[in-house]
Amino acid sequence: MRYRSQKVAYLFFATSILLLSLQILYGFIMGFAHVGYDNLHEVVPFNAARATHTNLLVVWLLSGFMGSAYYIIPEEAERELVSVPAAIVQWASLVVVSVTAVIGFHFNWWEGRKFLEIPRPLDYLVVVNVLLFIGNIGLTAWKGRRFTTTGMVLIAGLTSAALLYLPGMITFDSQVYDSYFRWWVVHLWVEGVWELIMGSILSFLLIKLTGVDREVIEKWLYVIVGLTFLSGILGTGHHYYWIGTPGYWKMIGGVFSGLEPLAFLGMALYGVTMSRRGGKRPENRIALAWTVGCGVMSFVGAGFLGFAHTLPQVNIYTHGTLVTAMHGHLAFWGAYAMVVLAMISFAMPELTGRKLYAGWVPEWAFWTSNIGMVGMTGAFAVAGITQVYLERKMGLDFLAVQEAISVHFIGLILAACLFTVGIGLYIWNFIQYGLPKDEAIQPGGSA
Ligand code: HEM
Ligand code: HEM
Ligand SMILES: [Fe+2]
């Protein structure tokens, strides 16, 4: 690292890792519930486990993005962060809000809107928290010595993500309007502005790790931003097929969301070609593996498996089934979990001065977690496709079908165990790095 204030990123990364572990725990609770072992039902009913699992996911990813920004922005702007105490207060309030929300879910304090379950009063705290964050990194960039495309796209992505949280806070009497605007948050985050955050973090990592010129890498970033906006905005229509909106959304949603995989194909090619073009073989090879892996797996999970159910002709059968969970897992993993884990793998040696990136632990962490997640995706796919057939084609009752497919959840649990071994190794590696140190600061470090 080049600036002392970058050390604050560590707090966010450690929080990310901790919440990821908790998220996995709730995944297992649901996995076992699906095979009939819902023993915790009185304390953690399925709805509470599900809300906790998905909200913890969102918070650990946001914490990872925030940590990444606190690390990247000083380096891109070539100055210290304007306020480290403000960053620490912001971190603490993020922890308080998420802990309160998670505890609340267990006491039935929640809004039953998938992914936006956090109760309204806490939403206002989220807004204050995010304003503090955007203010801090925004001012740092503003007062910086240089403006880079990477830094600007990152800030644009984070700021638009903050603004897009607001439509989810409006109250409607109509279920249709509520659902319509819920997608402005959920869809326009993951298939819109989060792609800018992902693209810019990948750009930063590729610049640092491959030795390819910044100009070349940032030109690609423009292409990705362009493709994202071209397809992702009107692509929101793929959620409007069956919620009571006008029929033209079937055409608009189908066509534009059908183009969305292009942006993810761009990310995959970005990673693969830049890492091949760079003459430099980075010392920290595992960080490059996570970076390139992120591009590739996001294309598979979001691009390929997203396309698999995005056309209205298909979605009319798959909507609201485990086919969605199949896609949701690999898309979130490939795109956003992997980009955060790539950034942490890159930043830890820089923050601590310890080079623990070689050896079997980080390598096995990468492979077992990825193979485990592909296995989980396969289990959800088999369960989901069978569900579609039995429920939607044969007309069997929902619960009868759930029983028939429960065997596939044993497969899910086995694959999830492999995945968890991988994450366990990653966490072990993270802990071994220890805390960030001032001695690790290299003022003249690479640009
Ligand atoms: C040990 C690991 C995990 C297990 C056993 C697990 C299991 C599950 C189960 C059973 C569900 C509910 C499916 C249903 O509605 O019946 C679920 C939902 C979900 N999980 Fe996981 N999960 C795990 C890890 C993860 C990870 C690492 C991610 C993200 C990278 C993730 C993302 C999601 C998402 C996005 C949903 C909601 C899907 C939807 O909207 O349909 N899960 N998970
Ligand atoms: C990294 C990017 C992506 C992530 C993290 C992601 C994640 C998810 C999640 C969690 C859901 C369930 C949402 C809910 O019901 O509240 C979902 C739904 C959906 N996604 Fe994605 N997705 C991504 C990209 C894509 C792309 C590129 C496409 C199309 C090519 C796509 C097509 C769909 C469709 C059609 C649904 C609705 C499924 C249904 O009818 O229930 N997704 N996605
Ligand atoms: Fe979407």
pTM of this structure: 0.98
Alpha-carbon gap, residue 7 to 9, rounded angstroms: 5
Max distance between CA atoms of the chain, in angstroms, equals: 67
- Identify residue 220 by its one-letter amino acid code: W
Q: Is 380 in the pocket of ligand 1 (CB under 6 A)?
A: no
Q: Is 325 in the pocket of ligand 1 (CB under 6 A)?
A: yes
The pLDDT score that the predictor gives to residue 224 is: 96
Nearest CA to ligand 1 atom 42: 329
Atom nearest to 380 CA in ligand 1:
13
Cβ–Cβ < 8 Å for 307, 326: no
Q: State both tokens at 404.
A: 């028939």
Nearest CA to ligand 2 atom 42: 306
Nearest CA to ligand 2 atom 43: 328
Nearest CA to ligand 2 atom 5: 332
Q: Is 239 in the pocket of ligand 1 (CB under 6 A)?
A: no
Q: What is the dihedral of CA 150, 71, 196, 98, to 10 degrees?
A: -170
Alpha-carbon gap, residue 65 to 347, rounded angstroms: 13
Cβ–Cβ < 8 Å for 425, 361: yes
Cα(26) to centroid of ligand 1, in Å? 9
Helix 9-34, helix 46-77: angle, nearest 10: 160
Q: What is the DSSP string of 379-443?
A: HHHHHHHHHIIIIIIS---HHHHHHHTTHHHHHHHHHHHHHHHHHHHHHHHHHHH-S--GGG--T
Alpha-carbon gap, residue 432 to 429, rounded angstroms: 5
Find the DSSP H helices in 35-143: 46-77, 84-106, 120-142
Cβ–Cβ < 8 Å for 254, 237: yes
Q: What is the dihedral of CA 16, 206, 335, 225, to 10 degrees?
A: 120
Cβ–Cβ < 8 Å for 309, 323: yes
Alpha-carbon gap, residue 236 to 214, rounded angstroms: 32
Cβ–Cβ < 8 Å for 213, 142: no
Cβ–Cβ < 8 Å for 222, 175: no
Cβ–Cβ < 8 Å for 261, 303: yes
Q: Is 416 in the pocket of ligand 1 (CB under 6 A)?
A: yes
Query: To which residue do tokens 């709730």 refer?
Result: 26
Cβ–Cβ < 8 Å for 63, 89: no
The pLDDT score that the predictor gives to residue 415 is: 98
CA 43 to chain centre: 28
Q: Is 257 in the pocket of ligand 2 (CB under 6 A)?
A: yes
Q: Is 328 in the pocket of ligand 2 (CB under 6 A)?
A: yes
The pLDDT score that the predictor gives to residue 445 is: 63
Cβ–Cβ < 8 Å for 75, 42: no
The pick from 179, 311, 327 for probing ligand 2's pocket by mutation, whose C-beta has the most ligand atoms within 8 angstroms, reads: 327
The CA R_g of the chain, rounded to the nearest whole Å, is 21
Low-confidence stretches of the chain (pLDDT < 70) are 445-447
**Nearest partner of 69 among 185, 161, 186, judged by Cα:** 161
The pLDDT score that the predictor gives to residue 198 is: 98
For the stretch 394-445, pLDDT in tens is 999 999 999 999 999 999 999 999 999 999 999 999 999 999 999 999 987 6
Alpha-carbon gap, residue 432 to 341, rounded angstroms: 16
